[in-house]
Structure 1
Amino acid sequence: MSALVTLENVTYQYENAKRYALQDVNVAITANEWVSVIGRNGSGKSTFGRLLNGIVVPTHGTVKVSEFSTHNENEIWDIRKIVGMVFQNPDHQFVATTVRDDLAFGLENLGLAREVMEGRITKYASLIGITPLLEAEPHRLSGGQKQRVAIAGVMAMEPQVIVFDESTSMLDPIGRKEVIDTMQMLHQRGVTIISITHDMDEAVLGSRILLFNEGKIVVDGHPEEVFSQKDVVTELGVSLPFSVELQKLLEKHGISLSETCLTQEELIGELWTLYSAK
Structure 2
Amino acid sequence: MSQHIQLELIDVSYAPISLASEPSADVLADIHLTVNRGEWITILGMNGSGKSTLLKLAGGLIRQGVRGSLHRAGSQGGKPIPIVMQQPDAGLVGSTPWEDVVTLLERQGAPADGLVLRAEQALREVGLEGRMHQPLDTLSGGQKQLVAIAGCLAADAPILLLDEITAMLDPGMTAIVCGHVRRLHQQGTTVLWITQRLEELLPGDRTLVLKDGRIVFDDSAGALFRRTASEPPDSPGEQVGFVAPYTVKVGWELAAQGIELPFIPLTADQLAEAVTGYGR
- Same fold at TM > 0.5: yes
Cα gap change, 1:63/1:206 in structure 2, threshold over 3 Å: closer, same or farther? farther
**One-letter code aligned to 1:136:** Q
Q: In the alignment, which residue of structure 2 is the partner of 1:71?
A: none
1:268 and 2:272 are equivalent in the alignment: yes
C-alpha distance after superposition, 1:179-215 (max 9, x if no partner): 1001111001100111111111213366311111100
SS in 1 for 2:49: coil
User: Which position in structure 2 is the counterpart of 1:44?
Assistant: 50
TM-score for both structures, normalised by structure 1: 0.85
CA deviation vs aligned residue, 1:4-38 (integer Å, no higher than 9, x gap): 10011111112448421101111111001100111
User: What is the aligned partner in structure 2 of residue 247 from structure 1?
Assistant: 251
Distance 2:242 2:168 in 1: 19
Maintained 8 Å contact 2:225/2:238:
no
**1:202 equivalent in structure 2:** 200
**What is the identity percentage for the equivalent residue pairs of Structure 1 and Structure 2?**
27
Q: Alpha carbon RMSD of aligned pairs, Å?
A: 2.5
Q: Which amino acid aligns with 1:122?
A: E
The CA deviation at 1:159 is 2.2
Q: 2:28 aligns with which of 5, 17, 22?
A: 22
Do 2:10 and 2:31's aligned partners in 1 also have CA atoms closer than 8 Å?
A: yes
1:131 corresponding residue in structure 2: 129
For 2:41, give the aligned amino acid: V
Look up the equivalent residue of 2:29 and give its one-letter code: Q
Q: 1:206 to 1:114 in 2, by over 3 A?
A: farther
2:92–2:100 contact (8 Å) kept in structure 1:
yes
Task: Work out the CA distance in 1 between the residues paired with 2:121 and 2:273.
Answer: 40
- CA spacing shift, 1:108–1:178, aligned 2, 3 Å: same
Provide the C-alpha distance between the structure 1 equivalents of 2:30 and 2:246, rounded to a whole number of angstroms: 32
| Partner Cα separation in structure 1 for residue 204 and residue 239 of structure 2 | 22
Return the TM-score normalized by structure 2.
0.84
Matched, 1:225 2:223: yes
Instruction: State the secondary structure of the residue aligned to 2:144.
Output: helix
Residue matched to 2:70: 63
Sort the Cα spacing of 1:108 and 1:268 in 2 relative to 1 into closer, same or farther, 3 A.
same
Residue of structure 1 in register with 2:231 after alignment = none
Match of 1:106 in 2: 104
* Structure 2: stretches of 5+ with no match in the other structure: 228-233
Which secondary structure state, in structure 2, belongs to the residue aligned with residue 76 of structure 1? Answer: coil
Structure 1 CA distance for aligned equivalents of residues 259 and 158 of structure 2: 39
TM-superposed CA distance for 1:142, in Å, is 0.7
Distance across 2 between alignment mates of 1:211 and 1:193: 16
Aligned positions, number = 264
Query: Counterparts of 1:71-82 in structure 2 under 5 Å?
Result: 75-77=77-79, 80=80
Task: Flag structure 1 segments of 5+ consecutive residues without an equivalent.
Answer: 69-73
Q: 1:35 aligns with which of 33, 36, 41?
A: 41
Which residue of structure 2 aligns with residue 238 of structure 1? 242
Residue aligning to 2:177: 179
Q: What amino acid sits opposite 2:11 in the alignment?
A: N
CA contact (8 A) 1:3 1:28 kept: yes
Q: Which amino acid in structure 1 is aligned with residue 264 of structure 2?
A: C
